[in-house]
A and B are shown apart, each in its own frame.
Chain A
Amino acid sequence: MTEQQDPRCPSLTRRRFLGALGASVAVASAGAYGISVWGRNPQDSGIAQVGTTTTTTTAPPLPAGTLPIVGDRTLVVIEMGGGNDGLNTVVPHTSGRYHDLRGELAVVDPLDLDGEIGLHPELSYVADRYAAGHVAIVEGIGYPDPDLSHFASMATWWSASSAGEYPTGWLGRYLDATSGSDDPLAGVTIGPGPTPALLGATSFQISVQDMSGLSPQIPQWIDSRDELAGLWRGLAPAGFDDTSALDVVRRAIEVTTDAQDQLNDVLGAPGVAAPTVSAGRRRSDLEESILVAAALVTSPTPPRVVYIHGWGDFDTHEGQADRHGDMMAQLNAALQSLFAAADSAGVCDRLVVMTTSEFGRRPAYNGSGTDHGTANTHFVIGPQVVGGRYGEAPSLTGLDTRGNPRHSVDYRSVYASILTGWLGASAEALLGETHETLPLFAT
């Protein structure tokens, strides 16, 4: 992909992105939650101090090229925001304790996998792939001293640290150490804005919402409408020096225009569109996100990482039975269409999908849903995955004082397994310490 580098913007210039947008997001977010590009930290509002680099990394970011890029492999992450109920996703249906705790919320007709656990009945495609040996089910994932705040727990998962050691995201560090700032489409986020998980020090993520790509809607009557995107680039002239807030915006414009045409080509997006008034039903967010993901992973130059977020509302304190079932159906359909697209393009060997969520939900039913929990179960899916069960199912008898299960697999072990087993990267270099890896991939 480096051959396609935009000649208008040498990578040296792009690397200074660190001094502007990337660093400002990172600086701004190294607050109470460790990391947050959602801007909920008090510091986030002020970007005037841009350029005063007060980041607190334990180690400087790894230079681009430090770690290898393996083939055309892509990792697709699907984030289930709000805390997915792993117990009703991968169901311990033969456990009497499960039925006692869950009462009427218990899934009574799961798709049995092995006489002990079964999948939510909406996950029929996942069950089929499990039978084919392409699905790893990792049970009991969590971290020590779990925090039941959405935002604190998300920050932990995104940064791969609980103590705020890292102002960057775990996948942002991977992008820093591989393509760095040389490849504008190495990391793509599909959803409402950037994700802290892909926040890098030198790399950047392109965020996109749907198949319209990065195409603005401009009324037909504006005579210069087709020229505006090209002229817009001029607002980020060569030689600005990242010292002011205005330069932060200029850098963001530069990065966006670098990726814009390439991304629109991949998605078949028009470049500029006419204003529309919304008509009727839209596809579910995830369905639309998956169309984008499929176009990206089947393109001649697929991203290293595609991160889908902002989908669903898994915070099912209430009305869980219907809401969770709907989202499981969406997840199942999304996985099916993504792998179908990859199959027909002949590239499904290049694709691994993993699910994440900030925590699981409490085993005890609260009368209409479930409250915040801890240890959780996730999927890693793809033809290259060694299917089966990993970790240990959370014990429903040894719950903690809050009534939550204890974890058996550190979430960083899952990251380490994917970084080394799939992306061919050094987990130690990116996570700062050694974590046990699971044999999710054949060696």
Chain B
Amino acid sequence: MVSDNERISHICRRLGYGAQPDMVATVGSADAARDALLDLSAPADASFRLDPPDEFDPETDRGNLIALLSFWLEQLATSPRRIEERLVWFWHDHFATDVRKVQTSYFMYLQHQTIRRHATGSFRDLLHAIAVDPAMLVYLDGAQNTADAINENFGREVMELFTLGRGHYTEDDVVAASRAFSGWVAIRDGSRARRPVDLDPWTSHFIPIRHDSGAKTLLGTTGRLDAVDAIDILLEQERTAEFIAHKLYVHLVGLEPATDELDRISTAFRADYDTMDLVTAIAAEPAFTSDAAVLAKVRTPLEKAVGVVQAFGGERGRLRSLGDTLRTMGYVPLAPPNVAGYPEGPALLDPHRLVHTFDFSVLIPEDVRGMSPVEIMNRLGIYDISPNTHDVLESVPDTGGRIAMAINSPEYHLV
């Protein structure tokens, strides 16, 4: 049986990144916890911004990347808009884009701001924005996609990974979509010799002469389709709403939706692709707070890191070490391992990642003293502790070591 506190903590873990200190003790009930986690009335933190560089410079670029990651990690741990952080990560994973290929932190910043702006809003707006987003144009080679030389990278992945899923389009659709998306470029800085004419730097542009303006047939619709048309066609497919609704359901609930559940939530979503409507519908399903859903997912390395920071207050100076640990785990924000995003599920319980879970002990403050196993686990948001885990934690003599062990306990590996 799942205790009341564990269920409240579960809601905090799934709709946000865990219970911020004292949340479980004060919130009172599961319903109140759900309302608190979905509450977007607190203002967003607008303090962070980057200015477009005058010219591209690797050192400035690296500084920008660290600043962006620092901002993001702090938001993950402390933002009062908890569902927004959950969704910002969900969409980054969904529209996986890798700074190691994009090579331009300012573009990653622009994409991050775009995702943040639309994360809790309209998926329709988000998808349209992503299709011509500078970082995405670089990452999936849209910037090389021209009428003379069609590049299929984005045209394929936008259907396979972003909207329909495999089996719901043909190779002819891949070509048609790629042609429709042709003609967009991302302009990096003002000094580059190959910069076409007088285009503003640090954004994307449509260059008509690079676009294939001929007729195409995409998913049964024929016309002189461009990027906007193609995205609209993808959004008209019932399958797109179902694909996104299914993915978000599994992300939040950790179980497969029943057929009638999936019907309900995808119908709610398809009306106008409002992401918060979808989230609210999923969180209202009884399965979301059921015993079966509690601790049914494997905690990701990022969730582990954020949880430790929330529990024990990671200092900013340790952020660099945290970045190294996330890199060891292959889980650095803005650097997904491939176009399909970050690994999830039991694959995260491989020996390498398990052993290096101890590395998060770098976040433990050196002055911790005298905490019992129960205090430590509660601080980490875990209330139902197995007797064996309790005994092992008790056998560790010092509090620092006890916390390190708690971070690598079976309970903490799950969410």
Instruction: Specify which chain B residues have a CB less than 8 angstroms from the CB of A221 in the assembled complex.
Output: 366, 400
* A208-B351 in contact (CB<8A): yes
* Contacting pair B246 A42 (CB below 8 A): yes
How many chain A residues touch B (CB < 8 A): the figure is 79
Determine if B351 and A255 form an interchain contact, defined as CB atoms under 8 angstroms apart: yes
Q: Is the CB of B347 within 8 A of A372?
A: no
**Quick one: given A40-B341, A235-B392, are A46 and B256 in contact (CB under 8 Å)?**
yes
List chain A residues, Cβ under 8 A from B346: 21, 24-25, 28, 37, 39, 44, 47, 248, 252
Whose C-beta in chain B lies nearest to the C-beta of A188? B351
Chain A residue nearest in CB terms to B255? A46
Contacts of B293 in A (CB 8 A): 48
> CB-CB < 8 A to A438: which residues of B?
none
Q: Across the interface, which residues of A come within 8 angstroms of B404, CB to CB? A: 218, 222, 225, 228
Q: Are B355 and A48 in contact (CB under 8 A)?
A: no
* Contact among A37, A246, A368 with B151 in the assembled complex (CB-CB below 8 Å): A368
> Does B392 lie within 8 Å of A46, measured CB to CB?
no
- Asked, given contacts A206-B351, A368-B151, whether A222 binds B337 with beta carbons under 8 Å apart, the answer is no
Indicate whether B224 reaches chain A with its CB closer than 8 angstroms: no
Q: Tell me whether B355 and A260 are in contact (CB under 8 A).
A: yes
Among listed A68-76, A125-133, A272-280, A382-390, interface-contacting one: A272-280
Q: Which of B166, B174, B324, B388 contacts A32 (CB 8 A)?
A: B166
* CB-based nearest B residue for A224: B401
Contact mask A369-397 → B, CB, 8 Å, 1/0? 10110000000000000000000000000
B298 proximity list for chain A (CB < 8 A): 47
Q: Does B280 contact A (CB under 8 A)?
A: no
The answer to the question of B21 belonging to the interface, with a C-beta cut-off of 8 Å to chain A, is no
- The residue in chain B whose Cβ has the minimal distance to the Cβ of A148 is B171
Evaluate contact between B351 and A149: CB separation under 8 angstroms: no
Q: Which of B122-130, B141-149, B269-277 contacts A (4 or more CB under 8 A)?
A: B141-149
Bound-state Cα–Cα, A182 to B361, Å: 33
Write out the residue numbers on chain B whose beta carbons fall within 8 Å of the beta carbon of A275.
Answer: 321, 324, 359, 362
Contact present for A369 and B144 (CB under 8 Å): yes
Which residues between 219 and 262 of chain B lie within 8 Å of chain A, taking CB atoms?
Answer: 246-247, 250-251, 254-256
Point out which of A149, A259, A260 has the most chain B C-beta atoms below 10 A from its C-beta: A149
| Contact, CB under 8 Å: A371 / B414 | no
Q: Interface digits, A79-104 against B, CB 8 Å rule (1 contact, 0 not)?
A: 00100000000000000000000000
Query: In the complex, which of the residues B345, B350, B364 contacts A219, with contact meaning CB atoms closer than 8 Å?
Result: B364
Interface: B28 (CB within 8 A): no
Once bound together, how far apart are the Cα atoms of A231 and B188, in whole Å? Answer: 53
Q: In the complex, are the beta carbons of A371 and B356 less than 8 A apart?
A: no
Bound-complex Cα distance A249 to B388 (A) = 13
Please report which residues of chain B, range 372-415, place their CB below 8 angstroms from some CB of chain A when the two chains form the complex.
386, 388-389, 391-392, 395-398, 400-401, 404-405, 408-411, 413-414
B residues in contact with A45, CB < 8 Å: 250-251, 254, 296-297, 344-345
Chain B residue contacts of A47, Cβ below 8 A: 296-298, 345-346
Q: How far is the CA of A260 from the CA of B166 in the complex (A)?
A: 39
Is A113 on the interface with B (CB-CB < 8 A)?
no
How near does chain A come to B156, taking the closest CB pair, in angstroms?
Answer: 7
Answer yes or no: A223 CB below 8 A from chain B CBs.
Answer: yes
User: For residue A151, which residue of chain B has the nearest CB?
Assistant: B340
The B186-242 residues at the A interface (CB cut-off 8 A) are none
> CB within 8 Å of A: which of B329-361?
330, 337-341, 343-359, 361
Q: Report A-chain residues with C-beta under 8 Å of the C-beta of B320.
A: 277
- Kindly state whether residue A209 has any CB partner on chain B within 8 Å: yes
Decide: A235 and B167 in contact? CB cutoff 8 A.
no
Q: Kindly provide the distance from the CB of A147 to the nearest chain B CB, expressed in whole angstroms.
A: 8
Give which listed residue, B349, B362, B388, contacts A248 with CB less than 8 A: B349
Whole-angstrom distance between the Cβ of A320 and the nearest chain B Cβ: 10
Which residues on the A side are within 8 Å of B171 (C-beta)? 148, 402
Which residues of B have CB within 8 Å of A24? Answer: 346
Contact A42 B359 (CB under 8 A): no
A19-56 CB contacts (< 8 Å) to partner B:
21, 24-25, 28, 32-33, 37-40, 42-49
Residues in A neighbouring B341, C-beta threshold 8 A? 40
Instruction: Please determine whether B350 and A48 come into contact, CB atoms closer than 8 angstroms.
Output: no
Q: Is A136 an interface residue (CB 8 A)?
A: no
- Per-residue CB proximity of A200-238 to B under 8 Å, as 1/0? 000000111100001111110111110111011011010
With a cutoff of 8 Å between Cβ atoms, the chain A residues found around residue B78 in the complex are none
B residues near A256, Cβ cutoff 8 Å? 351, 354-355
Set A39, A81, A152, A208: member contacting B338, Cβ < 8 A = A81
User: Within 8 Å CB of A209, what residues of B?
Assistant: 328, 352
Question: In the assembly, what is the distance between CA of A276 and CA of B327, in Å?
Answer: 12
B295 at interface by CB-CB < 8 Å:
yes
- How far, in whole Å, are A39 and B166 apart by their CA atoms in the complex? 16
Q: Which of B149, B297, B349 has the most CB of A within 10 A?
A: B349
Tell me which residues across on chain A come within 8 A of B140, comparing CB atoms. Answer: 317
| Residues of B close to A367: CB separation below 8 A | 144, 146, 148-149, 151
Contact across chains for B358 and A223 when beta carbons are under 8 A apart: no
A259–B141 Cα distance when bound, in Å, is 42
Residues of A within 8 A of B397 (CB): 223-224
Alpha-carbon gap, A38 to B341, bound state (A): 9
Q: How far is the CA of A318 from the CA of B150 in the complex (A)?
A: 11
Which residues in B have their C-beta under 8 angstroms from that of A245? Answer: 295-296, 414
Are B255 and A317 in contact (CB-based, < 8 A)?
no
Contact yes or no, B144 A368, CB < 8 A: yes
Whole-angstrom CA separation of A46 from B297 in the bound complex: 6
Interface string of A294-336 (1 = CB under 8 A from B): 0000000000000000100101011000000000000000000
| Contacts known (A253-B410, A255-B351); A222 close to B254, Cβ less than 8 A | no
* Complexed CA–CA distance, A43 and B345 (Å): 9
| Residue picked from A48, A150, A219, A402, most chain B C-beta under 10 Å | A48
B75: interface (CB < 8 Å): no
B100 and chain A: residue at smallest CB distance:
A313
7 nearest CB pairs, A to B: A367-B149, A224-B401, A216-B358, A39-B345, A44-B345, A48-B296, A39-B344
- The interface of chain A, by Cβ under 8 A from chain B, is 21, 24-25, 28, 32-33, 37-40, 42-49, 81, 148-152, 192-194, 206-209, 214-219, 221-225, 227-229, 231-232, 234-235, 237, 245-250, 252-253, 255-256, 259-260, 275-278, 310, 313, 315, 317-318, 365-369, 371-372, 402
Listed A/B pairs (6) with beta-carbon separation below 8 Å = A222-B361, A234-B395, A246-B411, A365-B149, A368-B144, A369-B141
Extra 18 A-B pairs, beta carbons < 8 Å, given A40-B344, A46-B254, A275-B359: A32-B167, A37-B345, A37-B347, A39-B343, A45-B345, A150-B339, A207-B351, A214-B352, A218-B358, A227-B401, A231-B396, A232-B392, A246-B386, A253-B410, A275-B321, A313-B101, A317-B151, A369-B144
